[in-house]
Homo-oligomer: A and B are copies of this chain.
């Protein structure tokens, strides 16, 4: 397909596609004349991935470029793509909160309970400890019980993730999909979480939602 068709198919405006081509985020099309190229389904897929990471994940283009370089590296294995994704998410969390002292204590307790103390989890540990510290400042304090409920849920999700990923896809699709799964999966879990909250509150109040939470005065 030509660029106009690629734009229509992907929902990405032509000037943006040209920008991605210039920046190397999108592979060049097959040149059919001095100023015309043909694009195919792989280009549509790649544009979809970029949209997912930026629009849903809120990642910057610089970060997306880094993830795409990892995806396009034939040497990299799928969990290393996960690592790159997580590192970039971590950087987004921690780089803007350099003044925040991470609270490692609860995170370390949870990691020990779960057996998650792997060296590769160092950056994840920093991100979690920073988030807990930020929430603490907003007077949203966690107990180890709450955090372990989060962690248990996260373990369930991770198992489902790996089963889905490993079951179906060839390697070159797998790394791309792993990145999308990581970012879009977070949004999906968050959406289900709020669905469950709404349902819980509705149950507690028999359908009426006013004053459903017991509020300490």
B-contacting 9-mer, from A16-24, A30-38, A204-212: A204-212
Picked from B89, B99, B134, B169, the residue with its CB within 8 Å of the CB of A190 is B89
B-contact 0/1 string along A181-207, CB 8 Å cutoff: 110111111111111111111100000
Interface residues on A, range: 35 or more
In the assembled complex, the CB of A80 is this many whole angstroms from the nearest CB of chain B, namely 7
Q: Is the CB of B184 within 8 A of A186?
A: no
Q: Is the CB of A124 within 8 A of B93?
A: no
A85 CA to B197 CA in the complex, in Å? 12
> Is A155 interfacial (CB 8 A cutoff)?
yes
Q: Is the CB of B150 within 8 A of A160?
A: yes
Q: Is the CB of A152 within 8 A of B162?
A: no
Q: Is the CB of B184 within 8 A of A127?
A: no
Which has the most chain B C-beta neighbours within 10 Å: A93, A121, A158? A158
In the assembled complex, the CB of A84 is this many whole angstroms from the nearest CB of chain B, namely 11
**Chain A residues at the B interface, C-beta cutoff of 8 Å:** 11, 45, 48-49, 51-52, 55-58, 77-80, 82-83, 85-86, 89-90, 92-93, 96-97, 99, 110-111, 114-116, 118, 120-121, 124-125, 127-128, 131-132, 134-135, 137-143, 145-146, 149-171, 173-174, 176-177, 180-182, 184-202, 209-217
